[in-house]
Structure 1
Amino acid sequence: MSLESKLESGNQNQDNDNRLQVSSKGKRLFALLLDFIFALLFANTLVQVFREEHWDLVMQSRDLSGLVFFYGSIAFILLFKDIFGRSLGKLLLAMTIREMENLEQRPSRTVLVQRNILLLLFPVEGVIVLRDAYARRLADKWWKTVVLDDQKAMRGTLRILLGNIILFGFFSIAILFQRSGIEKTAAYQTAEQAIRSHQPLIPLLKQSPKIEEPEMHL
């Protein structure tokens, strides 16, 4: 039975508000863009939290192996983004993944992970989504899945609020760890040592030994 027939069969006893509807091509691509942005923000946050001493010097001299952690984090997040039935982007856009054979059934977690392996072929997958009548990726065809609009999703205002809270959380973490990141740089530590050893400033430092917070730039 074709997907169109399955949708018609599933919608026979449904009112207009609860009809099964395939997510549009634009929504699918926008959800993937949101997932990539969140993965990028998360990976960047991990880098800030686990910065090493003199990281500014390390960045100047490191080779491609130094980028493995950053890009590996992004790849890991994108691979497992649908592990709970939908990614963050799909949640914010009210979308859900279902099996082709049973549109009420969520695929297994193994399938949800396997279908994201083909994101490595993103240009190809993007073209296939745009050309397919039901906005299915190559992975959807291989693992017999389809992305539908979620009729039981949170209200739009709540989803917008959730997205803003997540972005604010990343922004807050960046602010909290920015000072420690600056203080771990070789440039900051060298400048602080030079200030503390400068003879005309020693009397002032004895009166106020704490150097004020460094200027912060996002």
Structure 2
Amino acid sequence: METNFASRKNRILAFLLDYLILTIIIVLPIIFFMMNEKNMESALSFSFFAVWLMIGFILYILKDSIKGASIGKWVIGIGIRDEENLERVPSILRLFLRNLLIIIWPIEFLILAANKDKQRLGDRLAHTVVVKVTEVSVWRKIFAIVSLTLISILLFISTILFTIKNTDAYETAITYIEGSEEIIQEAGGIEGYGFIPSGSVQINNGYGESLFTINIKGKEKDVKVRIYLTKTPKSDWKVQEAHYE
């Protein structure tokens, strides 16, 4: 009986789904960390990055530990099995060894493309194969890809917005706007602010620069304020320029 190996296309698709999921898990906390000015000024920032990246690497290595299938493989309907017994799921140690070689993924993909049994180096090291476990429709694959992509985009945008609005620089900008009689008069009073502010916060060795574009919802008319702030080590943010239209 011929072994029903998972196609290279499905394996690459599962890999991309796993990569997307792990990117969300790893990148979003880093964004939160970087947008906190006190963290970026701390000597522990490098340690945080190193530890969090190591956690992400370990998560990737152990991603197939549940029944030989990661989330991506489960969505696509494929799984890892012992090459001598296709009913047996390899041990966690063998799955660990298999994924360890993903650090040389360009070579792994080349070997996967050339190997007749569709094994990469990690498979050959752990004596495993990837097989089709369940039949999955094309629509399920498309739905999974589109859903994960949209969720990733929404999470990324939400994280950026949340972190920007919680920086000391942004709070200083809002305080300045609410204390500016000129801007308040132009808007006829402030009712609120736009949901999506644009801007950036950059800090290096305690010196910082921030530039925001903040939309004000005024009682008489809406006003767009562009505001530039700076800071020096051990000091608060200060507004240097502010223009509105």
Q: TM-score, normalised by structure 1?
A: 0.71
Indicate the SS of the match to 2:80.
strand
C-alpha distance in structure 2 between counterparts of 1:25 and 1:166, whole Å: 21
From 30, 35, 38, give the equivalent of 2:18: 35
* Coordinate RMSD, CA, aligned: 3.5
| Runs of 5+ unmatched residues, structure 2 | 199-245
Aligned pairs for 1:111-126 within 5 A: 111-126=94-109
- Decide which structure has greater helix share: 1
Which is bigger in relative contact order (C-alpha 8 A, separation at least 6)?
Answer: 1
Q: Does 1:158 align with 2:140?
A: yes
Structure 1, residues 58-84: CA drift from partner, whole Å, max 9, x if none?
39x998656435633542332122111
- Decide which structure has greater strand share: 2
Structure 1, residues 30-50: CA drift from partner, whole Å, max 9, x if none?
332332232223322333455
Aligned counterpart, 1:179? 161
Structure 1, residues 116-169: CA drift from partner, whole Å, max 9, x if none?
11111222222221221111011211211101122x244443343344333333
User: Does structure 1 conserve the Cα–Cα contact (< 8 Å) formed by 2:81 and 2:89?
Assistant: yes
Structure 1, residues 72-107: CA drift from partner, whole Å, max 9, x if none?
354233212211111222223321111012111111
Structure 1 residues 154 and 97 mapped into 2: Cα distance closer, same or farther (>3 Å)?
same
Structure 1 residues 169 and 73 mapped into 2: Cα distance closer, same or farther (>3 Å)?
farther
Taking only the aligned residue pairs, the percentage that are identical comes to 23
Q: TM-score, normalised by structure 2?
A: 0.64
Indicate the SS of the match to 1:71.
helix
User: Does structure 2 conserve the Cα–Cα contact (< 8 Å) formed by 1:94 and 1:154?
Assistant: yes
From 84, 108, 130, give the equivalent of 1:101: 84
| Runs of 5+ unmatched residues, structure 1 | 1-7, 12-19
Structure 1 residues 145 and 190 mapped into 2: Cα distance closer, same or farther (>3 Å)?
same
C-alpha distance in structure 2 between counterparts of 1:44 and 1:68, whole Å: 13
C-alpha distance in structure 2 between counterparts of 1:212 and 1:119, whole Å: 46
Q: Does 1:81 align with 2:63?
A: yes
Aligned pairs for 1:113-152 within 5 A: 113-150=96-133, 152=134
Aligned length: 197
